[in-house]
Structure 1
């Protein structure tokens, strides 16, 4: 990430912190509950989530970047009203859903990020949003990253996970990573049940982002050392790249 900034690329880092939140809730004997893949966030849990995400996880990442020579600033969506939101009241299928202080993003204030980037800083964003009356809301980190990428019309959205990418079964029955997917292929694989479970929202989120103007979206394995550099600076890349249509950036690019 530091290298990307040094060579003129402006990264914006959005992080989660589920394990850190779970650990703190356990210490405080507060029960964790999830519905539709989202954390049920009452007032007490919201206080803990904000404390952990903005006060612990965020600053640890900023410190690590600083150790590697980067000028990083840690913020959350409350700062400068970066992430404005309202209470989430329905799931992705439109069914009523009440899981407390979980937000639905209504606006990204890109000026905050652009000001930091233009002043040579790397913004490190914790996924806490702010409501109309100043109340805090917990938001899924993948959702925040997608919304920020779309608002900035970013060249790439890079989603780091603990899997190698989208996989299919080969003729030999082995799991093989699909290197590129376009909209038609994604819809086909979902209908056939090849893309299933928790990978569906990740893939559809990436697809929605490229529909809204982001050049390409990538699902890559964050466990691989230098995974960002391997994706950006090698012709083949790693993980799964998602575009609206197959279209190379340059002559000879492998897609």
Structure 2
């Protein structure tokens, strides 16, 4: 198991860290310490986050039903209002507060801020108020990074006429990473990367991952995690990591070196 490591020459480098809903509620001192270490190593860091558990609690509290189809939360008019108010009003400021308290200067953002995530309906008939990103305001992100401020982006998009749209967290992370030319995307989960025969892997390639799935070494909830990571890698991000809340885990890189093996 290894902490993030660079795969590109030294330049003005950016990393996108995607925090899932469950990990948001249990960040520890090691996360903030390793986060600061990355900053000191010269990385600009952008955080994107969802908030599934908090949204589910609020939906249940207000007796609003919600289903998941193809990994996407079907979001009706009542649900999108709850998603918006929960992510922007509760989850985002709480995370920003934790970062600031840890000595990391951060600012909360969402799709409405400076037209950060301009969006359109993904498929309104099927998914309701769920969006796809049409453009990312990279200038805003770059200005913040140049001033050593960490953008913390909630997964809420906005249409041209001001309608809030719920956007899948992995989608926001990958679209932001692509738009800003990030060196890597870190997917923070509740596990320490890919484990094969009881050993966490430091590195992996798409070919190895597909083989591990076929052989049954990767199974259950890890399958959608690695498949999502491979999709991000395929979209053009140089490397993806599946890491724990200490930012330690498995580095996934393109299949240019198939001499990697379980260790």
The answer to whether the 8 Å contact 1:17/1:57 transfers is: yes
Matched residue, 2:82: 48
2:139 corresponds, among 100, 104, 111, to 111
Matched residue, 1:245: 255
CA shift at 1:193, angstroms? 4.7
Unmatched runs of 5 consecutive residues or more in structure 1: 91-96, 229-237, 248-254
CA RMSD of superposed structures (Å): 2.3
Is 2:157 aligned against 1:129?
Answer: yes
CA shift at 1:55, angstroms? 1.2
Matched residue, 1:221: 244
- Stretch deviating more after TM superposition (29-38 or 135-144): 29-38
1:167 corresponds, among 195, 203, 208, to 195
Alignment of 1:60-79 (within 5 A): 60-79=94-113
**Cα 1:241/1:3, change in 2 over 3 Å:** closer
Alignment of 1:196-235 (within 5 A): 196-222=219-245, 227-228=246-247
Unmatched runs of 5 consecutive residues or more in structure 2: 1-34, 258-262
Which of 1 and 2 has higher RCO (CA within 8 Å, sep 6+)? Answer: 2
2:200 corresponds, among 177, 191, 202, to 177
TM-score (norm: length of structure 2): 0.76
1:36-71 C-alpha deviation (Å, 9 max, x unpaired):
222221111101110010111100111111112222
- Stretch deviating more after TM superposition (8-17 or 181-190): 181-190
Provide the rounded CA distance (Å) in 1 between the counterparts of 2:216 and 2:225: 15
Provide the rounded CA distance (Å) in 2 between the counterparts of 1:153 and 1:195: 30
SS at match of 1:98: helix
CA shift at 1:6, angstroms? 4.4
The answer to whether the 8 Å contact 1:20/1:57 transfers is: yes
1:12 corresponds, among 21, 46, 66, to 46
Higher percent of residues as strand = 2
CA shift at 1:219, angstroms? 0.2
**Cα 1:43/1:149, change in 2 over 3 Å:** same
Provide the rounded CA distance (Å) in 2 between the counterparts of 1:196 and 1:110: 37
The answer to whether the 8 Å contact 1:40/1:100 transfers is: yes
CA shift at 1:16, angstroms? 1.2
TM-score (norm: length of structure 1): 0.79
Matched residue, 2:64: 30
CA shift at 1:87, angstroms? 1.6
CA shift at 1:73, angstroms? 0.6
Matched residue, 1:231: none
